[in-house]
Amino acid sequence: MADAWEQLEKECGGCHNCQLGERRQHLVFGDGNRTAEIMLIGEGPGQREDEQGLPFVGPAGQLLNDMMELIGLDRSKVYIANIVKCRPPGNRDPMNTERDACLPWLRRQTALLRPKMIVCLGRIAAQVVIKPDFRITREHGQWFQKAGVWLTAIYHPSALLRDVYKRPETFVDLKEIQRKAREICARTEISAP
């Protein structure tokens, strides 16, 4: 399996399937535990991620770490990837053509990981992974199931940085994710109360 991940990362590293590949400093493949039961999926790299080649290392990433800590998780217990692997200029939303071009990589990551649970971070990830008409304001925190995998979405950490009034609802969603993880992720140690 380690070889399959190495192979996939190498192939993905040479990707120029869309125009985002022309401007990147680093492709951001993904990070975390490649045997995790829980997968987090964000939208796409920002400036810091583009500089470092790692997902969620900027301010949104710091908040994400804090959010995970609240429910007894950390990066050693989850795998983190994005819908698009290269930074959209000016942090604009990735275009549909870019999402479609990049999706085969995420599908292959998911196939290798075989997570029990996928947590989408924000609307874009939820619309790609859960359903195209996903409404984050109405449907965050709800559970969906596809091919035996439990799927949910929470507000993107960047949205929580911009609008602190969304944080209480997200706390409820996080506690529900913790509850569900305790129910279905037997190998994942969850340390928080």
Give the tokens for residue 170: 């997200």
Give whichever of 69 and 183 is closer to ligand URA, judged by the CB atom.
Answer: 69
Choices 4-12, 18-26, 52-60, 131-139 (CB under 6 A): range interacting with ligand URA: 52-60
Q: How far is the CB of 27 from ligand URA (least distance, A)?
A: 12
- What's the CA gap between 31 and 186, in Å, rounded? 21
Give whichever of 42 and 115 is closer to ligand URA, judged by the CB atom.
Answer: 42
Site for ligand URA in 25-44 (CB under 6 A): 28, 42-44
Give whichever of 43 and 98 is closer to ligand URA, judged by the CB atom.
Answer: 43
Does 55 sit near ligand URA (CB under 6 A)? Answer: yes
Does 88 sit near ligand URA (CB under 6 A)? Answer: no
Give whichever of 34 and 191 is closer to ligand URA, judged by the CB atom.
Answer: 34
H helix runs in the chain, sequence order: 2-13, 20-23, 47-52, 59-70, 96-113, 123-129, 136-139, 157-162, 167-184
Does 178 sit near ligand URA (CB under 6 A)? Answer: no
Per CB under 6 A, the list member of 12, 15, 30, 46 interacting with ligand URA is 46
Strand partners, 80: 31, 40
Torsion angle (degrees, nearest 10) of CA 14, 8, 156, 22: 10
Q: CA distances (Å), 86 to each of 25, 69, 73, in order?
A: 9, 27, 26
Give all strands of the β-sheet with 149-154 in edge-to-edge order.
31-32, 78-82, 38-42, 117-121, 149-154, 144-146
126 CB-side CA count, 13 A: 21
Site for ligand URA in 108-147 (CB under 6 A): 121
Q: How far is the CB of 183 from ligand URA (least distance, A)?
A: 27
Applying CB under 6 A, which residues contact ligand URA?
Answer: 28, 42-46, 49, 55-56, 60-61, 82, 121
